[in-house]
Structure 1
Amino acid sequence: MIRFHAATSRLAIGAALMAGFSGTTSTASAQETSAQEGWGSGTPIVVTARRREEDLSRVPIAITAIDSEDLVERVVISDADLQRTVPGLTIRQTQGNNSLTYSLRGQSADIFSGSPSAVITYLNEVPIPVSQASSFFDLQSIQVLKGPQGTLFGRNATGGAVLFTTAKPTDVTEGYLRGRYGNFDRMELEGAVNVPLGENGAVRIAGNLTYRDGYIDNLFTGDELGRINRENLRVSVRFNALETVENTTMVQYSNSHGTNTGASYTYSVYAPGETNNGFALTSSAGFLFSPAVDLLFGAGAWDAYLAAHPQAYAPGLPAYVDEQHRLGPYKTNHPSGARHFGDSWTVTNITEVELGSNLKLRNILGFVDSYTNSQQPQLGAPFITILTENLATGVVGNREDLRSWSEEIQLQGEAADGALEFIVGAYFQRQRTNTLFPQTYFELAPLLPFTPATNHFRIKNHTDAVYGQASYEIGGGLTVTAGLRYTWEKVYGLQLAQSDNFGPPEQTRRYSDPSWEVGLEYLATPELLVYAKTRGSFRSGGYNGTLSPTFVASVGASNFFNSETTEDVEVGLKYSGSLMGRPVTFNIAAFQQWLHDVQRVEFPDPDGPAGPIASIAITTNVPDERVRGIEAEGSIYLADWLQLGGQLALTDAEYTNNQVVLFGNTFAYGPVGDTPKASGTAWAELAFPAGNSMGEISLRGELYAQSGQYFSNAADSVAPRTRLPGYELLNARLSWNNIMDSNFSAALFANNLLDEEYFVGGMQLAVALGHNAAVVGEPRMYGLELGFEF
């Protein structure tokens, strides 16, 4: 079977939506299976958005689900790949490819923030942190749930949740081996073997090795940025102690080395005296690292600096912006290293006990232990304005050491002859995070001594919650759903040894917040579901570890910031049936969401005019934000050999009350960052019969496109010139499965086929230092894949 996904522009995506061809990868896989087996008997897509298995077309939530087959066919092998498969989801990169935050429906977490992500990721129903890129391997599915999910998934899921489910041990001896080789000397090996253990269970062992050279040349050091060296091993064991009891344990170890891409593209620098909409801009870096420094130290000062720094750019930092344009996106001049190291252990244990035909008890235990140490390039120019190392102490790299335990117990069941479905549960989590930020500011020898700084702090979160949700079928296809969750949390903040703020005792603050949901769904026909719902949830408050408790106490303030709260309204339609006798699926959702005490980072100067070094990053609460939009997806088989489809997300986000006063200074926020107004994917599939003895030949491609986005939340005031342009990525894959009726397969693939130059995020240090840098997207990546299944 040959497949080809194609489109030409964002206009094509919009036209596809109007024609009803906007779609998800999950529906594509379902329709493909339907065509192979007879499209009238299509296989449903099973999701767990309501903590139980259900047909995707019957779940009243905006969801994109990607099954195991589609993950392979669309070459979704890491976090960044999700963005092109789930329009509306932004995988935000601040300090490069190993500094990630998921953003959905206008909600994310800023750089240097004490705020948790607004989009929570789960592995086998256990919440896991995302700070570095990972490799996806041997997954059963990925589900992206959009909008507040606090009732069933807990605090912080105000933008949504991403559910990763690993392949489970089965009762069949089976396995696979898949290898890839591509440009930049990319080598990847992935495999799994499943072995039954008689009637009492099974074991599945899976692993992945990924190696690739970097694609950004650091002209200053000779390093390659973006180099990958990842090794992963997973063991899953299913044990059936009794006929009514099943226990599944998964243990995964991941190790990552390489170099960070960093924010290695110098994007904008502010000149002395520059203003924006009446706001004075920080210009310390642009002034000190330029010939203008002679005005401060006298004639010849700049020449003395250049003599001590022969690799510096003689015209100065402000002029380097044009030099960066000349060099292009894949050349940088960062004057330090960019190494990355990370490893993690993850354990999940799920026990299910059938208490009767309509009652099930589930226990979900999780453990996560992760550590990262990264040098993060935060500017691509050959000047040391800021380093992620302390030149005075010799400590190098931002470090995060996280350990989390979670325990959840659920009771699921049905009553009233199946008309009532319910779930009640309790959740407990204990998390501890140690964070170390070594820094050096403004190395200006021989004019000024550099300024070292170190933040080192511990944050502990103790979380307890109870929840319940029920759906009752009133009759005539109408069902009502209601749910409530209440969470109690205690946050501890402590300055650790090595910190410039070390000394004060541990501080604590308690938070408690509700999450809720009320909805109606109407199954108008077996093919058509319409729904309306309203939800409320929150993002937990926290502790500003980079802020001195001693200073805060002296001005009567607090190191803690408030919880962020939200409520929304969503209406949607899901159709899975036929149009003019051909299979078609179409899902559309419209939403409006209100957020209060929005958690954002600012860089105030607490000492007044003490100078640029006094500026620090703290999380504060912006009064109000409003987000609204439309998300649609679907597919249609025009013929047995031709399928069209796509996805579209339109998002309008703005701060409706945007001013915050910090240490006597007023800061204004807007536009909302990390939120493109439009993003989508358009595709087509062609199927050519090759004969049973030949196997299945497939060609597929797709075009992902998005409009521009800001990597700052204050571009209209103190951080202008932080808007990234929109871009389009064309991807393609030619595959041959069951070669000559065998278990072997082969494929050629290419992402960013037209070698588009684009940006995927940025590091805004506008207020702190007066410059901003962007994160470069990957160039064209292509290769050969060989596979074997047994």
Structure 2
Amino acid sequence: MNTISIRSSLLVGAAFAGTAALSPAMAQSKVDDSGTGDIIVTAQRIEQRLQDVPISITVFNQDQLTKRNIAVAADLAAYTPSLSINQRYGPEKSAFNIRGFNQDASTAPTVGLYFAEVVGVRAQGGTTSGNSVPAGAFTDLQNVQVLKGPQGTLFGRNTTGGAILLTPKKPGDNLEGYVQGTYGNYDEKRVEAAINIPLADTFKVRLSIDRNKRDGYMKNLAANAAGNRVGPDAYNDLDYFYGRISLVADLTPDLENYTIFHYSKSTTNGYASRIVGCATPTSPISPLNINVGTAGYSGTRDLQATSCLVQLARQNTRGDSLYDIETSNANPFLDITQWQVINTTTWKASDHITIKNIASYGEFQERANFDLGSANFVVNGRDVGATLTGQVGVTGFNLRRISPQLPNVVAPNGTAYGRIVLDTAGDNSANAAQGSFTEELQIQGSWEKLNFVMGGYLEFARPTGFSAGRTGIFLNCTRPQNLACTNPLLFGSISESSTKLNFDNHGVFSQATYNFTDQLALTGGIRYTFDKIVGLTNGTRAGFSANATTGPLFADPVSGVNIARACTDSLRHNRVGPNADPKVIANPPAADRSVCTTTLTNKSSKPTWVIDLDFKPTPDLLFYAKYARGYRQGGLNFTNPGVERWNPEKTDNFEVGAKATFRGAVSGYLNLAGFYNKISNQQVFAGLVADAVNAALGVAGGNAVINAGKSRIYGAEVDASATFFESLRFDLGYTYLDTKITAGGTAAVRGDGSELGQLIVGSPFDRIIPTSIVGSPFSNTPKHRLTVTANYTLPLDESIGKISFGATWVHTSSSVNDYSVPAFVNGIPVGFTPANDLVNLNLDWKGIAGSTVDAAFFVTNLTKERYTVANGGGWNSAGVAEILLNQPRFYGVRLRYNFGQ
């Protein structure tokens, strides 16, 4: 049988046999008050106690989520020791890693996020986005599960680190509900409500809403030359609406139909970073070269680094805090809209066979306008000369430092300019726009000694329009979208991105557990996945004057402004000069951007598997050992012509664990896991340097994703809970993580015979430099993470109510967040996140004086701990050190009214 026939047979089998390849485990009951861990989960597609599942899992019920003030997915990481996040572009766009498996921009996730058994809507914009759950999805949940380690058999590719599963509350038999209001500092106002309505014995409805708004904590002090404030007062705000409707129809005693529709709209000012340092000729790392024409000199880095000094001096003179910033963008916004409909039909065909079908469709849209590097820059030069207006003897920045093709004139000191401002491409366009359809059909079987799940999975993600944007580069723009820009430095331009990406993911799988005895069981599972990405781009660069690669000026149809255009893909378009490749298109794009169209495809197919042996000497003690293979799909990014594609990476995971439950005066559980991972063909970033010919034509260097890495990860996890005398409960989580890059590739020159040297043959780049550092740990992977929560319930009469005090301490050891920038600048951590300790408090009074009203007071980050969570990444390219900070102290009160049964 040939390869095509094999694939066709597998896919046909998927359509008839069914699957749950990417669908998550669902917890069916909340954490019990006894603390024994008697939570029913279906992590292996059959109902089991948490303590019987050979997977390291952390579970939070809705009460625990509320006490911890978890509103968006990024908040979850503070309380889950194995879970870390990269929030370079803000918490709404966080990338997650479990056990050190990182996701960088443009690459596929390593952690799958699921809601009601369906993966988050896929999207790929200019920055990390999509593949997540929407803002507000943490309201009215049954629980949240964090599954650690590769979940490739039951969940598919892109879960090499693990999976996060959100299970919403299902409509029930009773008329009940609640209304809850929160008011806190930074003028936080949040209202949550839910109502459960049993319209009939066989038809039930549940409605949930969440409206949350909070002012930003990064205060903007930017002003223009006239002293007038510019832009919003604050960034890193919160403003979303979330709604959900759930319907359960029992069509027959053995046939249930469960439908969920949920919608989220988040509208904020976006994130902002704080400038803490500027490169100078004496900087110990990557010092500023100010000598034009010498090796390593960059005019744009010289310009930005010296402008940075002016802003830094203003900040120091005012005595700004690290939460004070300056950014001159007048119209920032980050709008994310996401909706999804999920239908699950479950048929109990017999006492032994259950058939389940899960279908979904959802859409993701992101529209954004933000500074890639927050700044309020003016020229700060050292040259004396004439200006374009004829002034002579003016001190400023000579434009010949940027390019010898620019006029020999000086931009005067104090001239305002923007750095890199990303915007939409039009009023009806989006920076990311994608729709995702999924279909799963799974067969579950259960006998006395054998349990199994088998099936297949189909996913089709299609663009709902171009993911398009206009980015102003060294311009002063009211809106780059409308070309409402001035060009004070003469070399400013507009990058016009425009892509469409089609994702197909199909797979078949089977997993079974055989119980040899009541104490000994063996589980084996395998899955085969087919991935395909087809991408199209017609990206261009727009300028306000014609040059060698463009045609004459023309009127832009969006704004009416006269511009000239060149294709961004200079490898396949923009034929220039007598020695140019005759196969490359010569026509300038002008208004017809189809001239610049490039279409590429990336396909892969890989198996994943798991083998697990369980031993249960008693019903409350489990030992397990397993080996699992996982893989993360390859990808496609049009940013770097000729180096746009990369292949899948794979991981081999070896894990042993033990789970113990104890009962009595002290009840609870203790779960231990030890693991070792090997990653090969690892996806890493590599810097690209344009050759002299292409650099003169405007091709900039960049970062490409390549397969040049090998790594190993090992560590241990502890998850424990103990309740004393039914009034004092302790929950503990701890992770020890040791990561190491064992191979990361060696810098290469085009055509030098090496694998990387061959990779860039035919591209406009003549050097490639992997950024991974062999022998170093991964970024964003602290070695130690400890979470301890204590909760004490006062021994009071029921007529008073139930009063409890809770406190959580989270300790995180130091880690590197970015190897491409200095660890410290001016004594402030930039590429380094120092060790930190968070203390959160909660006071709850449930059933006040026997009523149906609850009250609570909460504080997060009680001690005002302050630390770097990410950085702007602009030190080497711009000579600017900028950081993003953790959330400050938040506090507030909650009131809740419960009604019904």
Please give the range of the TM-score, normalised by the shorter of the 2 chains: 0.7 to 0.9
Q: Give the corresponding residue for 2:112.
A: 120
Q: Give the corresponding residue for 1:6.
A: none
The answer on whether the counterparts of 1:596 and 1:623 sit within 8 Å (CA) in structure 2 is: yes
Q: Give the corresponding residue for 1:414.
A: 446
Give the Cα–Cα distance (whole angstroms) in 1 for the partners of residues 325 and 162 of structure 2.
Answer: 35
Cα gap change, 1:630/1:523 in structure 2, threshold over 3 Å: closer, same or farther? same
Q: Which of these residues, 238, 241, 247, is aligned with residue 237 of structure 1?
A: 247
Q: Does 1:73 align with 2:67?
A: yes
Give the Cα–Cα distance (whole angstroms) in 2 for the partners of residues 677 and 512 of structure 1.
Answer: 34
Q: Give the corresponding residue for 2:839.
A: 730
Give the Cα–Cα distance (whole angstroms) in 1 for the partners of residues 823 and 869 of structure 2.
Answer: 22
After TM superposition, the structure 1 = structure 2 runs for residues 265-284 of structure 1, keeping only pairs within 5 Å, are 265-267=274-276, 269-271=278-280
Identity of aligned residues (%): 28
Q: Which of these residues, 407, 430, 442, is aligned with residue 460 of structure 2?
A: 430
SS of 1:453's equivalent in the other structure is: strand
Q: Which of these residues, 461, 467, 479, is aligned with residue 509 of structure 2?
A: 467
1:608 CA drift (Å):
5.1
The answer on whether the counterparts of 1:533 and 1:570 sit within 8 Å (CA) in structure 2 is: yes
Give the Cα–Cα distance (whole angstroms) in 1 for the partners of residues 879 and 305 of structure 2.
Answer: 13
SS of 2:863's equivalent in the other structure is: coil
Greater RCO structure (CA 8 Å; 6+ sep): 1
Q: Which amino acid aligns with 2:874?
A: L
Q: Give the corresponding residue for 1:773.
A: 882
Q: Give the corresponding residue for 1:400.
A: 432
Q: Give the corresponding residue for 1:665.
A: 768
Q: Deviations over 1:308-355 (max 9, x none)?
A: xxxx66x447x5698499522211111214311111111111110001
Q: Deviations over 1:206-241 (max 9, x none)?
A: 111111111111111252112222111111101111
Q: Give the corresponding residue for 1:350.
A: 344
Q: Does 1:289 align with 2:304?
A: yes
Q: Which runs of 5+ in 2 are unaligned?
A: 1-26, 122-128, 223-229, 289-294, 378-416, 477-486, 542-567, 570-592, 747-755
Q: Which of these residues, 212, 219, 227, is aligned with residue 214 of structure 2?
A: 212
Give the Cα–Cα distance (whole angstroms) in 2 for the partners of residues 102 and 137 of structure 1.
Answer: 20
Q: Give the corresponding residue for 1:652.
A: 738
Cα gap change, 1:62/1:688 in structure 2, threshold over 3 Å: closer, same or farther? same
Q: Give the corresponding residue for 1:388.
A: 421
Give the Cα–Cα distance (whole angstroms) in 2 for the partners of residues 716 and 256 of structure 1.
Answer: 34
Give the Cα–Cα distance (whole angstroms) in 1 for the partners of residues 74 and 269 of structure 2.
Answer: 16
Q: Which of these residues, 109, 123, 133, is aligned with residue 103 of structure 2?
A: 109
SS of 1:57's equivalent in the other structure is: helix
Range with greater deviation from structure 2 (281-290 or 506-515): 281-290
SS of 1:334's equivalent in the other structure is: coil
The answer on whether the counterparts of 1:284 and 1:769 sit within 8 Å (CA) in structure 2 is: no
Give the Cα–Cα distance (whole angstroms) in 1 for the partners of residues 313 and 780 of structure 2.
Answer: 26
Q: Does 1:255 align with 2:265?
A: yes
SS of 1:289's equivalent in the other structure is: helix
Q: Which amino acid aligns with 2:529?
A: T
1:678 CA drift (Å):
1.4
SS of 1:141's equivalent in the other structure is: strand
Q: Give the corresponding residue for 2:177.
A: 175
1:82 CA drift (Å):
0.5
After TM superposition, the structure 1 = structure 2 runs for residues 582-597 of structure 1, keeping only pairs within 5 Å, are 582-597=666-681
The total of aligned residue pairs comes to: 720
Q: Which amino acid aligns with 1:427?
A: Y
Give the Cα–Cα distance (whole angstroms) in 1 for the partners of residues 219 and 858 of structure 2.
Answer: 25
The answer on whether the counterparts of 2:305 and 2:878 sit within 8 Å (CA) in structure 1 is: no
The answer on whether the counterparts of 2:499 and 2:536 sit within 8 Å (CA) in structure 1 is: yes
1:606 CA drift (Å):
3.0
Q: Give the corresponding residue for 1:458.
A: 500
Aligned CA-pair RMSD:
3.0
Give the Cα–Cα distance (whole angstroms) in 2 for the partners of residues 76 and 721 of structure 1.
Answer: 27
The answer on whether the counterparts of 1:150 and 1:537 sit within 8 Å (CA) in structure 2 is: yes
1:604 CA drift (Å):
1.6
Q: Does 1:561 align with 2:646?
A: yes
Give the Cα–Cα distance (whole angstroms) in 1 for the partners of residues 608 and 346 of structure 2.
Answer: 26
1:578 CA drift (Å):
4.1
Give the Cα–Cα distance (whole angstroms) in 2 for the partners of residues 141 and 668 of structure 1.
Answer: 39
Q: Give the corresponding residue for 2:80.
A: 86
Q: Give me the TM-score of the superposition, normalised by structure 2.
A: 0.75
Q: Which amino acid aligns with 2:82?
A: G
1:512 CA drift (Å):
0.5
Q: Which of these residues, 542, 545, 550, is aligned with residue 638 of structure 2?
A: 545
Q: Which amino acid aligns with 1:574?
A: K
1:193 CA drift (Å):
0.7
Q: Give the corresponding residue for 1:192.
A: 194
Q: Does 1:605 align with 2:689?
A: yes
Q: Give me the TM-score of the superposition, normalised by structure 1.
A: 0.85
Cα gap change, 1:278/1:530 in structure 2, threshold over 3 Å: closer, same or farther? farther
Give the Cα–Cα distance (whole angstroms) in 2 for the partners of residues 668 and 183 of structure 1.
Answer: 41
1:108 CA drift (Å):
2.1
Q: Give the corresponding residue for 1:680.
A: 786
Range with greater deviation from structure 2 (129-138 or 608-617): 608-617
Give the Cα–Cα distance (whole angstroms) in 2 for the partners of residues 324 and 676 of structure 1.
Answer: 35
SS of 2:201's equivalent in the other structure is: helix
Q: Which amino acid aligns with 1:178?
A: Q
Q: Give the corresponding residue for 1:485.
A: 527
Give the Cα–Cα distance (whole angstroms) in 1 for the partners of residues 345 and 607 of structure 2.
Answer: 27
The answer on whether the counterparts of 2:145 and 2:164 sit within 8 Å (CA) in structure 1 is: yes
Q: Which amino acid aligns with 1:388?
A: V
The answer on whether the counterparts of 2:687 and 2:768 sit within 8 Å (CA) in structure 1 is: no
The answer on whether the counterparts of 1:424 and 1:468 sit within 8 Å (CA) in structure 2 is: yes
Q: Give the corresponding residue for 2:656.
A: 571
1:680 CA drift (Å):
1.6
Q: Which of these residues, 300, 309, 321, is aligned with residue 328 of structure 1?
A: 321
Cα gap change, 1:354/1:731 in structure 2, threshold over 3 Å: closer, same or farther? same
Cα gap change, 1:727/1:283 in structure 2, threshold over 3 Å: closer, same or farther? farther
Give the Cα–Cα distance (whole angstroms) in 1 for the partners of residues 795 and 822 of structure 2.
Answer: 56
Q: Does 1:53 align with 2:47?
A: yes
Cα gap change, 1:322/1:218 in structure 2, threshold over 3 Å: closer, same or farther? closer
Give the Cα–Cα distance (whole angstroms) in 2 for the partners of residues 282 and 440 of structure 1.
Answer: 23
The answer on whether the counterparts of 2:819 and 2:831 sit within 8 Å (CA) in structure 1 is: no
Q: Give the corresponding residue for 1:519.
A: 612
Give the Cα–Cα distance (whole angstroms) in 2 for the partners of residues 492 and 240 of structure 1.
Answer: 41
Range with greater deviation from structure 2 (347-356 or 436-445): 436-445
Q: Give the corresponding residue for 1:15.
A: none
After TM superposition, the structure 1 = structure 2 runs for residues 5-154 of structure 1, keeping only pairs within 5 Å, are 30=31, 33-34=33-34, 44-111=38-105, 113=106, 115-129=107-121, 131=130, 134-135=135-136, 136-154=138-156
Give the Cα–Cα distance (whole angstroms) in 1 for the partners of residues 843 and 264 of structure 2.
Answer: 30
Range with greater deviation from structure 2 (333-342 or 350-359): 333-342
Give the Cα–Cα distance (whole angstroms) in 1 for the partners of residues 844 and 898 of structure 2.
Answer: 15
Q: Does 1:747 align with 2:856?
A: yes
The answer on whether the counterparts of 1:537 and 1:567 sit within 8 Å (CA) in structure 2 is: yes
1:473 CA drift (Å):
0.8
Cα gap change, 1:257/1:717 in structure 2, threshold over 3 Å: closer, same or farther? closer
Give the Cα–Cα distance (whole angstroms) in 2 for the partners of residues 277 and 532 of structure 1.
Answer: 48
Q: Which amino acid aligns with 2:178?
A: Y
1:180 CA drift (Å):
0.5
1:451 CA drift (Å):
3.1
Range with greater deviation from structure 2 (140-149 or 215-224): 215-224
The answer on whether the counterparts of 2:823 and 2:830 sit within 8 Å (CA) in structure 1 is: no
The answer on whether the counterparts of 2:174 and 2:198 sit within 8 Å (CA) in structure 1 is: yes
Q: Which amino acid aligns with 1:121?
A: L
Give the Cα–Cα distance (whole angstroms) in 2 for the partners of residues 628 and 278 of structure 1.
Answer: 37
Q: Which amino acid aligns with 2:347?
A: V
1:437 CA drift (Å):
4.3
1:380 CA drift (Å):
3.4
Give the Cα–Cα distance (whole angstroms) in 2 for the partners of residues 282 and 488 of structure 1.
Answer: 46
Give the Cα–Cα distance (whole angstroms) in 1 for the partners of residues 879 and 824 of structure 2.
Answer: 9
Q: Give the corresponding residue for 1:615.
A: 701
Give the Cα–Cα distance (whole angstroms) in 1 for the partners of residues 317 and 678 of structure 2.
Answer: 40
Range with greater deviation from structure 2 (712-721 or 395-404): 712-721
1:272 CA drift (Å):
5.2
